[in-house]
Amino acid sequence: MLSTVNWRTLRADLPASLVVFLVALPLCVGIAVASGVPVELGLVTGVVGGLVVGLMPGSSMQVSGPAAGLTVLVAEAVDRYGLAGLGTIVLVAGLLQIGLGLLRLGRWFRAISVAVVHGMLAGIGLLLIAGQVHVLAGATTPPIGLAAFAGLPALVGDLTESGAARLSLAVGVATLALMMLWNALPGRQRTVPGALVAVAAAAGATAVLGLPVDTIDVAGLLAAIQPSIGHPSLLVDLGVLTTIATFTLVASAESLFSAAAVDRLHQGPRTDFDRELVAQGTGNTICGLLGALPMTAVIVRSSANVQAGARSKASRVLHGLWLLVFVAAAPGLVALIPLPALAAVLVHAGVKLLPLRTMPALWREHRGEAVVLMVTAAAILTTDMFTGVLVGLGLAVVKTAWETSHLRVIVGDGDGGPVDVALVGNATFLRLPTILSALHALPTDRSVRLDLRDLRHVDHACRMALDTWIETHHRAVGGHVQVVAPRSAPAERLGPVRTAE
């Protein structure tokens, strides 16, 4: 790093690193709490994302750390396999990411349908919001999955009967309102992130007024870290293997899509996707060994880094250093943070995962993509992350196959002469029913002029079907079937008929 950083860039990178640190601090803590792990583990992941991944080649501007997009997955993994199991899952997922990067497969993650990724994030956002609403009302352990939605009616009942629940909700709503108002201020006033201002205000008000609101439990950095050397016995469990595959897919896709987005925000070096995947895998491998949260590159922190004027990777490395200093020197400050205040931060993060602004335009202009997005999100809500993503990918493939096989069959009467039939587009087996329905509806006592000049592709199934129909029609009308092929067509005939140009 020192060879690529000079004092001119450091003067820009130093204040940028402080901004990223202030953005990352409440998110690291909040994501850890929502994931059901000690808060220190979220900060450890942030430190590794800065000091380790920040030094590695790949992307120069994006910042890595614990991500809201993995919260639901982590909570489910901790609930099923415990913290030790989580360490093994993150460790193996990291090793898989390194392998994918070394095999130069990082670029292929860019081929994942954007609609599927947005649907995945939307599903995660909805689950995150539903779970954290329970924390806003004083329920410290949010339900996972659909149980979070099913528990909302009971939560309303608790609010009507419990003054403590109403007070907790008031603190959370006030935090959310302050954060949104702060973010609406002009740019210079927003140098300090709204999330940090709102959480600090909630912590101060809770301490000064002595409000009976749950706060964060802090055990200390060394007590929270539980080094993992892996539990090979877990790797024979199909559920664990599925979870590892899901972590690898989601973390890699989110990181590389973030890299593509961040590249559009600055004029510096472009991301090497294979090296970035190795860097992310290295970070997750270390986090797995330490028993910490998994990491991805995070667009919120990355965009804050670019907007704060960062010039090199020194800013993201320094942000990791500030996180380490904070967690080592002032862990007691974290214990002052009210849980509903952190829940408000995560509700805000969950809302930002929803495509609220882009969905109307997407529905108007690319309805098929909008359907893929909604089906992916719905599948994640009703099943699990891995199944939901697979459903979305399958639907995206089917949609693409259907669109690329677009075909029109144009039939003209010919005023007593041959019936004109033109095929326009791509003749694939998906359109075979349309083609045969149109051809079988032609009069059997008339000759046919079959125009293939605007046919871009014919697969084997359609070619065989056309050959069979031509032979049948040829016998019925005495051979008056004419195929008009493009000049560039290969010298082969569709059936025993005359080909004309």
Q: What is the pLDDT of residue 293?
A: 93
Q: pLDDT for 301-334, tens place per residue?
A: 887 788 777 888 889 999 999 988 888 877 778 7
> In terms of residue numbers, what domain contains 292?
7-356
Number of folded domains that form the chain: 2
One domain for residues 85 and 174: yes
Residues 6+ apart with CB under 8 A from 253: 109, 112, 117, 120
* pLDDT tens digit sequence for 382-423: 887 778 878 988 998 888 888 887 888 999 876 667 888 999
Residues 149 and 222 reside in one and the same domain: yes
Q: What are phi and psi of 499, to 5 degrees?
A: -105, 130
Which residues of the chain are under the pLDDT cut of 50?
A: 1-4, 488-493, 495-501
Counting Cα atoms < 13 Å in the Cβ hemisphere of 296 gives: 23
Q: Summarize pLDDT for 67-97 with one digit per residue, the tens.
A: 877 888 898 889 888 888 899 999 999 999 9
Q: What is the pLDDT of residue 459?
A: 87
The residue among 356, 373, 394 that closes a domain is 356
Residue 490 lies in a domain: yes
Is 450 inside a domain boundary? yes
| Same domain, yes or no: 466 and 340 | no
341 and 451 housed in the same domain: no
442 belongs to a structural domain: yes
Examine the domain organization and report whether 172 and 87 are in the same domain.
yes
Residues 210, 139 within the same domain: yes
Answer yes or no: do 342 and 436 share one domain.
no
Asked if the structure places residue 278 within a domain, the reply is yes
What is the predicted pLDDT for the residue at 143?
62
Alpha-helical runs (H) found in 105-162: 114-136, 146-150, 152-161
Q: Is residue 383 part of a domain?
A: no
Run of H or E residues at 419: strand 419-427
Give me the residue label for tokens 């992350």.
Answer: 385
Is there a single domain that holds both residue 25 and residue 102?
yes
For the domain that residue 480 is a member of, what is the CATH number? 3.30.750.24
34-232-242 Cα angle (round to 5): 55
> Which residue, 322, 356, 390, sits at the end of a domain?
356
User: From the centroid of its chain, how far is CA 199?
Assistant: 27
HEC secondary structure over 267-322: CCCCCCHHHHHHHHHHHHHHHHHHCCCCCEEEHHHHHHHHHCCCCCCHHHHHHHHH
pLDDT value for 275: 92
pLDDT at position 229 is: 65
Q: At what angle do helices 39-51 and 314-329 cross, to 10 degrees?
A: 150
Beta strand pairing status for 296-298 and 63-65? Answer: antiparallel
What was the pLDDT predicted at 177? 93
Which residues, 6 or more positions from 9, have their beta carbon under 8 angstroms from its beta carbon?
311, 312, 314
Does one domain contain both 331 and 437? no
Q: Has residue 188 been placed in a domain? A: yes
